[in-house]
Amino acid sequence: MKQKYFYLHIPKTAGTTFNDFLKRAFSSKETLFHIESKLEKIENQSVLAGHIILPRAQKIIPNFENYIKLTVLRDPLSQVSSHLRYVKKLGEPSELKRLEGHTDSIKIIVSFLGTIDFSKVEDINRLIYWLEENNYVLFHNCQMQYLIGSRFIVNETDIERAKQVIDTIEYVGITERLNEYMEFLSQEFGIRGPVKNKKLNITSETYGLDIKNPDIIKALEPFIAYDKVIYQYTKEKFERDIGSFLENKKYKKHNYFDRIYKLLFK
């Protein structure tokens, strides 16, 4: 039986770029992206990817235990900043068509974000209060939600559970070292050709959200408090997993230059 893969696409973690890598690594006939809107097509694909929490993927994908699982996490402050700006941008007139494809709750959130000035701490506090009052969990520890399911209240037990989930994912990467992650996977899966990070789907508009401002960072803490723990745990796992690969790569590089040196100066 041909090996199958599932990529847990957490929002704003360079997922569009990673999808592009998968698209080039495997046949287009084998890959299906954004499965959250194409559930009827998942049966005959070798590579599945989507914005779908892992517990749900386990339930709806037949023989999920046979899939090799991949995911990428991102520094939480950068992730939530990008996520907030991306969703706010959906409220612009030029994005109307894309907004129409989203759920009613996303449309409500987009509308409320139109009243928020990200440069003001009081507006960020107002946003957090409104989201919690209405039970919208879109931005609250988003990366942890994708691992264990959506909920507001996260305790020590949930953190340990999320770590256990990370341990069950065969290949985890981090956005900040995405090229190394893709090079590592290329070697593991026997994929030939250069790895190119195209940096797709970037939200360039800041909307005043300055994540170097200490007051803004403090205001965003409810969104990222537990994601920070999980990100650090994932980063350490990633570094352990690719350690020997990087050492071997370094050896080959040095060995190459040694050969050149000997040819020139023997």
- Secondary structure, 3-state, the chain: CCCEEEEECCCCCCHHHHHHHHHHHCCCCCEECCHHHCHHHHHHCCEEEECCCHHHHHHHCCCHHHEEEEEEECCHHHHHHHHHHHHHHCCCHHHHHHHHCCCHHHHHHHHHHCCCCCCCHHHHHHHHHHHHHCCCCCCCCHHHHHHHCCCCCCCHHHHHHHHHHHHHCCEEEEHHHHHHHHHHHHHHHCCCCCCCCCCCCCCCCCCCCCCCCHHHHHHHHHHHHHHHHHHHHHHHHHHHHCHHHHHHHHHHHHHHHHHHHHHHHC
Confidence of residue 44 (pLDDT cuts 50, 70, 90): confident
Domain total of the chain: 1
What average pLDDT score do residues 92-119 get?
95
Let me know if residue 266 belongs to a domain.
no
**β-pair type (47-50, 67-73):** unpaired
The pLDDT of residue 29: 83
The pLDDT of residue 52: 94
pLDDT tens digits, 156-168: 789 999 999 999 9
Let me know if residue 244 belongs to a domain.
yes
Confidence of residue 86 (pLDDT cuts 50, 70, 90): very high
pLDDT tens digits, 10-37: 999 999 999 999 998 888 788 999 999 8
Let me know if residue 198 belongs to a domain.
yes
What is the Cα–Cα distance from 154 to 228, expressed in whole angstroms?
13
User: Which residue is it, tokens 């991949």?
Assistant: 70
Let me know if residue 263 belongs to a domain.
no
Question: CA-based angle 113:232:6, to the nearest 5?
Answer: 75
What is the Cα–Cα distance from 242 to 219, expressed in whole angstroms?
35
Quick one: what percent of the chain has pLDDT higher than 90? 73
The pLDDT of residue 59: 94
Let me know if residue 261 belongs to a domain.
no
Confidence of residue 39 (pLDDT cuts 50, 70, 90): confident
Q: Tell me which of 251 and 119 has the higher pLDDT.
A: 119
- Domain encompassing residue 160: 4-256
With a cut of 60, say whether residue 154 has pLDDT above it.
yes
What is the Cα–Cα distance from 68 to 8, expressed in whole angstroms?
11
The pLDDT of residue 265: 46
The pTM score is 0.88
Let me know if residue 264 belongs to a domain.
no
Let me know if residue 262 belongs to a domain.
no
With a cut of 70, say whether residue 243 has pLDDT above it.
yes
pLDDT tens digits, 192-233: 655 666 666 667 789 999 999 999 999 999 999 999 999 999
C-alpha of 40 from chain center: 24
Q: What does pLDDT average to over the chain? A: 89
Cross-strand pairs, 67:
4
The pLDDT of residue 256: 45
Confidence of residue 257 (pLDDT cuts 50, 70, 90): very low
C-alpha of 49 from chain center: 11
- CATH number of the domain where residue 56 is located: 3.40.50.300
What average pLDDT score do residues 66-84 get?
97
